[in-house]
Structure 1
Amino acid sequence: MAPDTPLKDRLRTDLTAAIRGRDKLRAGTIRMVLAAISEAEVAGKQAVVLSDQQVLDVVVREAKKRREAEEAFLSAGRAELADKERAEAGVLADYLPAQLSAEEISTLVSAAIEQTGAAPLGPRGMGKVMGVLTPQTRGKADGGAVATEVRRQLAG
């Protein structure tokens, strides 16, 4: 499929292919994401069509839920359920942009601190830096990892 195809259309096409290929895991995961997208579209006073970025945000949110559920199942000693969540997260990863490395996050944080002139480890400094970084890292890096790096650099 063309790279400029909207993500929602790509999900629908991939769902059809997964059903035809009898790939239950992939089909179930994509159905779950499409349901979450539909739910987001009808939330509020009137139905709206989500932009591609908003659809990506839903996919990111669903992938995060899978990671958190996997951790919870592992800590509860339920490896078989953790494996299922890990597999679903793997399917969702196909729809996410490439993740930033720790070095790339560090470089972005340094640039954002320099750009904002943030004071060392104050809540205002942290907020300013995160305000600049969030749009740059959305969907490409875990917010917790970015915040940790900001705290580390502001403290140092």
Structure 2
Amino acid sequence: MELRDRINAAMKTAMKEKQAARLSTLRLINAAIKDRDIAARSTEDGPDGVTDAEVRQILGRMIKQRQESARAYEEGGRLELAEGEREEIAIIEEFLPRRLADDEVERAVDTAISETGATSIRDMGKVMGVLKERHTGQMDFGMVGPKVKSRLN
């Protein structure tokens, strides 16, 4: 099933079961996808809409925004708002592939380095591009960057 279809099905279920918080988060996801659809229509990409890979990027960005918000709320002593952000993160993560374990991340980094032929720190962008294309939502790129950097030094 296409990712967009899974999100719509979850939204219908949340409506039927009167899960207000879940429904609100799913509507935010849908709105972000539709915004990207509209932006794609105005360019040469055509009216096909966004792909699953682009939807995963949108979801990854939404998670990152909520993590930053939760951190800011915690620092401000607003724990109830931070908890709300974490609940939204959990809902969004349901639509992303499972997180890779540390050894899987290491293998993915090694594979990306060998495929791109990266030899120095100047090639880090190529390696990160390959990793983001293949593993969006499966790894924390803030943690992966230093690993790539240390291998390319």
Which range, TM-score by smaller chain? 0.7 to 0.9
Residues 77-88 of structure 1: pairs in structure 2 closer than 5 A: 77-88=77-88
State the partner residue of 1:100: 100
Distance 2:36 2:89 in 1: 20
Pick closer, same or farther for the CA change 1:133–1:55 going to 2, 3 Å. Answer: closer
CA distance in structure 2 between the aligned counterparts of 1:7 and 1:117, rounded to whole angstroms: 32
Does residue 1:69 correspond to 2:65, yes or no? no
Aligned pair count reads 149
Supply the AA of the counterpart residue of 1:147: G
CA distance, structure 1, for counterparts of residue 112 and residue 54 of structure 2 = 24
CA distance in 2, matches of 1:52, 1:111: 23
Amino acid at match of 1:30: L
Stretches of structure 2 that go unaligned for 5 or more consecutive residues are none
Q: CA deviation at 1:60?
A: 1.9
The yes-or-no answer on 1:28 pairing with 2:24 is: yes
The equivalent residue for 1:146 is: 144
**What's the CA shift for 1:142?**
1.8
Pairing partner for 1:12 from 8, 12, 26: 8
- More displaced stretch, 130-139 vs 145-154: 130-139
CA 1:12 to 1:134, structure 2 compared with 1: closer, same or farther past 3 Å? Answer: closer
Which residue does 1:134 correspond to in 2?
132
Partner of 1:58: 58
Structure 1 residues 50 and 115: CA distance shift in structure 2, 3 A: closer
Q: Percent identity?
A: 34
5+ long unaligned stretches in structure 1: none
Report the TM-score when normalising by structure 2. Answer: 0.85
Question: Residues 11 and 34 of structure 1 are in contact (CA less than 8 Å); yes or no, is this contact kept in structure 2?
Answer: yes
